[in-house]
Amino acid sequence: MKNVVVIVPTYNESGNVKALVLALAPIFKSLSSYNMQLLFVDDSSPDGTAAVVRDLMFKYKWVHILMNKRKGGLGHAYKKGMIYSLDKLHADVVFEFDADLQHDPSRIPAMLEAIESGADLVLGSRYIHGGGIPKNWGFHRKFLSVVGNLFIETVMLNPHVRDWTSGYRAIRRKVVEKIIPELGGQTFTGYTWQIGFLVKSLQSGFKVAEVPFVFKDRTEGKSKLGPEYIINNLLFIMKLRLHDILNNRLFKFVVVGGFGALVQFTFLYLYRKVMPFQLAFFLSIETSIVSNFIWSNLYTFSDRKLRAIDIPSKFIQFNLASAGSILIQQGIAIVGQFTIGLRPLFTVPVIHLAVDTGVMYAVVGIFVGMFWNFFAYDRIIWKAHGPEQGRGKK
């Protein structure tokens, strides 16, 4: 029998906790194949929430309470609640659940069914068929919720998840054990916990599923959500995405390649002043290859940095691997020169730099050669060994 713990953070929810327990009681009873437990994590609410919970514990043995000495935020409460659930209540699955009954408890069986079907994390989703948000919400609140989720979906380039900010979740033990250590610091003590936990779970390869539910307005107490909830989530997502892009190997390759192209163009102009076009073209390519080798080792493949003793032999391999790119670029230049010719095209304003067809041949050659280069660098020169091999690096 699996142990399932529904974790409910509370702060000034004395008017809601009894109604919540009464609503969960028949659901828990119907799930006879599970050992269902309810854990309130209270941030020392001044309204006596903890006292109400303790009274309920006498009647309902599956009700528990964990006290925080101070108000630490939603993420802090969930983190402590999850650790307690795993260590003390031996949870196999934990739920995130609101105290104000905005989350429909009747969807718990469906979410457990999704877990049993292989999902590692199940989202109660407002934005798939069968889900919804309150009709009486004002336009601005609907706009922020719907557009905010669409923005996150677009930035994360993941259309498979529709409700990124849902706080109604079922999570397997192994996911909690993997993700919690990654959510340290002040960033994840508040509402950013939700989006951070989901993103980290996806990045770790866990299977995420969604079950529809209709979100309800609270009837008791005061909402803790303000406009900073959406703003902080959007800022977090943008920072995260920017970090991912800047650390993406393909992005690094493009940066190094772009700098190499600048080196090639610069030296092509310099070499053409003292030697024939074809020789100048060839030497400018080789100069850019030297630049690319240095910066690829220091930047693009910094996690696979070559040992000093290997650099000479690897540089020879690098040149041999790059020969395909050289042949591609040289071939384009030769075909271009003898079919179209070398003639002026335009002059760049301000710097008065003349651009002719020779430069255009170089541009085309560089772009075509880049595809070969990335394959050769990644699979030959800085070939991955160990765990990274076979899965690549983002």
Domains of the chain with bracketed CATH: 2-245 (3.90.550.10), 249-388 (no CATH)
| Residue 8, beta-bridge partner list | 40
Q: Which of 107, 134, 139 is nearest to 123 (CA)?
A: 107
For the segment 297-355, what is each residue's pLDDT rounded down to a tens digit? 999 998 888 988 989 988 888 888 777 777 888 888 899 888 998 888 888 888 877 88
User: 3-class DSSP state for residue 317?
Assistant: helix
- Indicate whether 392 pLDDT > 50: no
Distance CA 330, CA 365 (A): 8
Contact indicator for 285, 333 with CB cutoff of 8 Å: no
What whole-number distance in Å separates Cα of residue 196 and Cα of residue 182? 9
Q: Tell me what the mean pLDDT of segment 235-240 comes to.
A: 76
Whether the predicted model's global pTM rises above the 0.75 cut: no
E-only strand ranges, the chain: 2-10, 34-42, 63-67, 93-96, 121-125, 169-172, 208-212, 344-348, 353-356
The residue ranking higher by pLDDT, 122 or 224, is: 122
Single-letter amino acid, residue 208: V
Model pLDDT, residue 27: 96
What's the rounded Cα separation, in Å, for the pair 393 and 352? 42
pLDDT tens for each residue of 197-233: 998 999 899 999 999 999 987 665 555 555 555 666 6
Distance CA 148, CA 154 (A): 10
pLDDT higher than threshold 50 for residue 391 = no
